[in-house]
């Protein structure tokens, strides 16, 4: 009965508007580039797979990637700066089409080996095959195209706040939130072997990591330079054998790239936790036997008290809100003008992302969303999933 009620409610919610696919998207050809002959017996070597645009190869939508796979007697060309034992990230132009093997889940994350996101993926899905992706978009696409089974991506940090890019991508793509995982972030100062703290002049890392260690790095007299991610900074320092440059990253990154840890726990605030979302193609069926959280996104008409009215549907049913985030409703500029606006829109449309402590199997949550649907201009359930009460 509960499952039927959930399906009934969700089926009556407006479906999101998906962006139109380009002509190139309809002309994709899959090509698996393997040397011939090759043995089916396994060894430790990558496979190169590509999705190419038919016809105009200068407009490839999806190009080749290299993943850690197992094929015997297979000559493999790789970037001399990269270790052949480390898979290179999936890119938005280079996606894999290799299927999952057995029951081992393939889980996409953003970054390179040693990233905090990889640790979150392994915490969420122990014994999974963690698949690195260069960008957040790529991880979403990899799940949608059945290239991986799941994605684990950051959504907010206790110090840095929300990761807005992933909020926008949740709406753009049709994936479902099936869980969350919280990870305690512990930054370390890393350098090549033989390099001492006094030898360093600058330090590389992700902008948020640098900001979280600002006071410590200032006391050390180090110039801060931003790169795409923490593990990528460690990889750069190691592969270029930099002597005057360190990296802010994890101890896992230090182990993978052979760096020394010069200082541990250098974050200014020890209360540093990142929350990650677990994404899948299909939603899970929520229950009521354990603590569940539900994430939704909606939009409203402009007017006095409208947002108050929307949030009241939860308060009147004693449902606790744990997160609210507003994002501009892109590609929908309202043209509500009057003489006092000098030709500019009177207001801009916004989307509201809300997390609340209740399962979609709970009658209160169903009634609240049914009430909200009466005056919301758009409403979508992103997922109903178990609350992560642990920390690692």
Q: What six digits make up the tokens of 85?
A: 């034992």
Q: Which of 274, 314, 352, 356 is catalytic?
A: 274
Cite the DSSP H helix spans in 23-135: 116-124
What is the Cα–Cα distance from 386 to 182, expressed in whole angstroms?
12
Residue that the structure tokens 């500029």 belong to: 333
With residues binned 3-state (H G I as helix, E B as strand, rest as coil), the percentages for the chain, rounded to 5, are 25, 30, 45
Residue that the structure tokens 């201009």 belong to: 377
* 371 class by beta-carbon count within 10 Å (0-12 exposed, 13-18 middle, 19+ buried): middle
Q: Which of 140, 276, 352, 356 is catalytic?
A: 276
Q: Classify residue 164 as left (phi > 0), alpha (psi -120 to 50) or beta.
A: alpha
What is the Cα–Cα distance from 260 to 190, expressed in whole angstroms?
6
What is the Cα–Cα distance from 144 to 280, expressed in whole angstroms?
8
- 261 DSSP β-pair partners: 190
For this structure, is 274 an active site residue?
A: yes
For this structure, is 245 an active site residue?
A: no
Tell me 55's DSSP state.
S
Neighbours of 325 (CB within 10 A): 16
* Count of residues in the chain: 392
Q: Which residues are catalytic?
A: 274, 276
């Amino acid at each position: 009965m509960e499952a039927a009620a959930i399906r009934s409610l969700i089926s009556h919610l407006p479906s999101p508007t998906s962006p139109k696919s380009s002509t190139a998207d309809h002309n994709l050809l899959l090509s698996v580039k393997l040397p011939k002959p090759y043995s089916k017996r396994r060894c430790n070597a990558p496979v190169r797979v590509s999705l190419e645009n038919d016809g105009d190869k200068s407009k490839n939508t999806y190009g080749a990637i290299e993943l850690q796979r197992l094929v015997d007697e297979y000559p493999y060309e790789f970037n001399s700066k990269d270790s052949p034992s480390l898979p290179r990230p999936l890119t938005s132009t280079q996606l894999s089409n290799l299927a999952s093997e057995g029951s081992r889940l393939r889980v996409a994350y953003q970054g390179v080996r040693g990233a905090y996101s990889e640790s979150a993926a392994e915490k969420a899905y122990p014994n999974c095959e963690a698949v690195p992706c260069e960008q957040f978009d790529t991880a979403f696409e990899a799940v949608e195209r059945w290239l991986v089974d799941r994605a684990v991506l950051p959504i907010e940090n206790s110090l840095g706040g929300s990761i807005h890019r992933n909020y926008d991508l949740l709406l753009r793509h049709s994936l479902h939130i099936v869980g969350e995982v919280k990870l305690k972030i512990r930054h370390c100062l890393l350098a090549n072997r033989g390099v001492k703290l006094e030898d360093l002049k600058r330090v590389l890392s992700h902008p948020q990591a640098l900001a979280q260690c600002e006071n410590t790095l200032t006391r050390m007299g180090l110039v801060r330079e931003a790169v795409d991610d923490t593990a990528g900074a460690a990889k750069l320092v190691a592969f270029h054998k930099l002597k005057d440059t360190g990296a802010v990253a994890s101890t896992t990154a230090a182990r993978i790239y052979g760096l020394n840890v010069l200082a541990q726990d250098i974050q200014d605030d020890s209360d540093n936790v990142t929350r990650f979302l677990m994404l899948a193609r299909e939603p899970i069926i929520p229950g009521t036997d354990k603590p569940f959280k539900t994430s939704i996104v909606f939009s409203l008409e402009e007017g006095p008290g409208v947002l108050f009215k929307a949030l009241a549907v939860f308060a009147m049913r004693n449902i606790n809100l744990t997160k609210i985030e507003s994002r501009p409703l892109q590609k929908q500029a309202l043209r509500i003008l009057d003489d006092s606006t000098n030709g500019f829109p009177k207001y801009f449309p916004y989307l509201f992302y809300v997390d609340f402590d209740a399962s979609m199997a709970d009658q209160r949550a169903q009634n609240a969303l049914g009430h909200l649907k009466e005056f919301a201009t758009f409403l979508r359930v992103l997922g109903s999933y178990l609350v992560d009460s642990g920390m690692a």
